[in-house]
Chain A
Amino acid sequence: MAEDVSYTVEQVKSKISEAFPTAVKFESKTKPRRLFMTADKGSLLNLAKMMKEQLGFDQCSLVTGVDRCDRMQAVYHLTSYTSNITAEIVVDLPRDNPEVDSIAPLWGGANWHEREAYDMFGIIFKGHPKLERLLLPADYTFFPMRKDCDKGRD
């Protein structure tokens, strides 16, 4: 835990928008103890670092890969144990080259989530300690959760 200071959602919002005025955009959706934002893929690692080290988001709950057909998305859910806030960060990635910085060096809990996103969607997490197939055999050549993957169907 970086700091044992508890922040409100508004404080977290203003601190992030101060540090990332253009790269991070907040969504209008509001819920108690929830924070919704979109971030550029280039600034994701710095944003994650700031959230972990300065704002006390100690846990990475989930990393999701999404195939939006025209683009790929990596969705992060980060949780702060001191402020009791769960933040959702959506990062858009180009479909022909889905590459994003890995946050597994920051949170050990993100390790298998990123591996699974690679396994199912082919999203490359740069700097991941062990980016290999996790659920599927190592010699598979396709990524089954992509919307255009029809292998194995009649």
Chain B
Amino acid sequence: MAEMWINMGPQHPMTHGLWNMRVKVDGETITDAEPVIGYLHRGWEKMVENRRYPQIIPMADRLCYGSSFTWSHVYCMAAEDLMGVEVPERAKYIRAMSDELQRIGNHLMWLAAIGPDLGNLTIFLYAIREREMFLDLFQSLCGARMTYNYCRIGGVRNAAPPNWERDLVRTLDYFEKRMDEYEDLVDRNKVFRMRMEGLAPMSGKDAINLGFTGPVLRASGVKYDIRHNDPYEIYDELDWHMCTAEEGDTYARYRVRMDEMRMSMQIVRDILKKMPKDGPIRVKPPRNAPVGTGFARMEDPRGESLIYIIGDGTDQPFRVKVRSPLYVILSGSKYLLQGYKVADVPSILGMIDVCMGETDR
């Protein structure tokens, strides 16, 4: 049969946002694939060159509404690196805790998105319902549900309201039970497993070379987590371990993310135990950054995110560059898709957690 190029999207519901995955097929088998990004390109990096340092925090939130806290967090860490600001101890704990809650929220959105892709609407309804609890926690913490604008250069905006800790513990207790239900629903579902197991395996060596990070890398058996190997904030003082899997296939990527949700809950509980009860949560940063550069990297829900800032002595950055994990993973999606069927595309791409906001920027 003749080979031809077909467009998966922009209309395909799996690709949240406007993008286009061109796949070359021979019959039903994919022989080549080419992601076409740039439908959403907002010129983020150009826009922030005309804004003052604090004004970029709400912009960093918009990089991905699913994990907006981690994006504003990595931006603040990069700006602190540039300005030489030291964050108070308590703010570090609050940031790490919010990171982990954000990780659970983001993974729940991913779980909800892959459900309908693989033909199971129940998991979508369950995951969206539970994500609501974590959005509620964030709402009472900082007043917003998705784009939080909560992190500040030099700390966080405010401390938690009274009774917040009680609500948090209740939510975690409840969610832990729900996690068992998810695993019953997905891991014991033959259709789900048939559509995931053995699909698009990738060796650890290839994954590293292609620049894959985060759960996709750890599912290939590579023990690398920035929280562990290049710790920021207070992660080196906490009691937790890395979640990895050996198979490197789509099912392993699913398993790593599910394990990470449980691990995040353990981290949050540990933070609640160790967090200082009072103390400053914010220091005042200088208005003008010095001439120089600063960068920070952290473990985003999707992998390594890095922000590199060049300061020129004014109150506006000279250049801000974002490294988003998904941008790099999509550049290697050709190697994931080759040799599989058109019907496998939603499953393979779903497991790398597509978010167009942080890809196009």
Give the interface of A toward B (CB within 8 A). 1, 29, 33, 58-62, 64, 66-67, 75, 77, 79, 81, 84, 86, 88, 107-113, 120, 134-136, 144-145
Q: Is B254 an interface residue (CB 8 A)?
A: no
Q: What separation, in Å, do the CA atoms of A144 and B45 have in the docked complex?
A: 11
Interface string of B331-361 (1 = CB under 8 A from A): 1100000000000000000000000000010
Q: What separation, in Å, do the CA atoms of A45 and B83 have in the docked complex?
A: 32
A77 & B308 in contact (Cβ 8 Å cutoff): yes
Q: What separation, in Å, do the CA atoms of A75 and B293 have in the docked complex?
A: 11
| A/B interface sample: 9 pairs, CB < 8 A | A61-B306, A62-B306, A64-B319, A66-B310, A77-B308, A88-B293, A134-B37, A135-B38, A136-B38
Q: Which of B45, B209, B230 touches A107 (beta carbons < 8 Å)? A: B209
A109 & B210 in contact (Cβ 8 Å cutoff): yes
For B211, what are the chain A residues with a Cβ–Cβ distance below 8 Å? 59-61, 107-110
A134 & B38 in contact (Cβ 8 Å cutoff): yes
Q: Is B224 an interface residue (CB 8 A)?
A: yes
Q: Which of B46, B229, B297 touches A61 (beta carbons < 8 Å)? A: B297
Give the interface of B toward A (CB within 8 A). 37-38, 41, 43, 45-46, 205, 208-213, 222, 224, 229-230, 292-293, 295, 297, 304, 306, 308, 310, 319, 321, 323, 327-328, 330-332, 360
Q: What separation, in Å, do the CA atoms of A113 and B304 have in the docked complex?
A: 14
Kindly provide the distance from the CB of A151 to the nearest chain B CB, expressed in whole angstroms.
Answer: 12
For A107, what are the chain B residues with a Cβ–Cβ distance below 8 Å? 209, 211
For B205, what are the chain A residues with a Cβ–Cβ distance below 8 Å? 1
B306 & A108 in contact (Cβ 8 Å cutoff): no
- Known pairs A59-B213, A61-B323; list 17 more (Cβ under 8 Å): A1-B208, A33-B230, A77-B306, A77-B323, A79-B304, A81-B208, A84-B229, A84-B230, A86-B230, A88-B295, A107-B211, A108-B209, A108-B332, A109-B209, A109-B328, A110-B211, A113-B328
Q: What separation, in Å, do the CA atoms of A100 and B126 have in the docked complex?
A: 51
Q: What separation, in Å, do the CA atoms of A1 and B203 have in the docked complex?
A: 12
**Which of B212, B293, B297 neighbours the largest number of chain A CB atoms within 10 Å of its CB?**
B293
Q: What separation, in Å, do the CA atoms of A6 and B213 have in the docked complex?
A: 20
A62 and B319 in contact, given A109-B210, A145-B45 (Cβ under 8 angstroms): no
A58 and B209 in contact, given A81-B222, A86-B297 (Cβ under 8 angstroms): yes
